[in-house]
Structure 1
C-alpha cells in the first residue's frame, strides 16, 4: 500500500472527480515578495509551471480588484485569454478568473 498525497481536508491531493490539485512548496521569500510577483502579470510567464503562458500581454503594471489582464497562451494551438481579478487584499490575497 502506498501513501497518497492528501489535501488539508484529508482527500487525495489530486482527485479527478473534484478537479482540484493541491501542492505545497517552501519559497524562500517574504509574503510581500510572493504577493508582488502574483500582482505583476508580467511575471506570470516566469511562475507558470505549464509553459502555456506565452507571448503578448495586455495588462496594467500591477493588478488590483476588478483589473483585467489578457495574455497569449498555447496548448496545442495558440489562443488568448482574458482574466479579471475577483479577490484582492494587498499583501494577503489575490485571485482571478476567466
Structure 2
C-alpha cells in the first residue's frame, strides 16, 4: 500500500451502501482516549479517538444524517510510515 494513503483503498465496508452512501462529513470534536479503554487486544502503541462527526447520507440505512459518535483506532505500521486508520466503529 502507498505510504501516503490514510487507509487501505481495498477495504471492504460491511455496511449497506458503505462509504458511497456518505455525501458529506464535518468533524465537530475529537478526543484522545487513554490507553486501556479500548476494550480489546489492540496493537501496542495504538491510539483510540472518540470523534463526533456530522454526517450527511443519501439514504438512511444503518444511521441517519446528523451528529454521530465514531471511534477511530489509529496504528503505526512501521517507524518509517505515518499513522493509519485500523478501524472505525460506533463504540470502543
Query: In which range does the TM-score fall when normalised by the shorter chain?
Result: 0.3 to 0.5
Q: From the two aligned structures, give the one with the greater strand fraction.
A: 2
Q: RCO (CA 8 Å, sep 6+): is it higher in 1 or 2? A: 2
Asked which structure has the greater CA Rg, the reply is 1
Q: TM-score scaled to structure 1, two decimals?
A: 0.37
Q: From the two aligned structures, give the one with the greater helix fraction.
A: 1
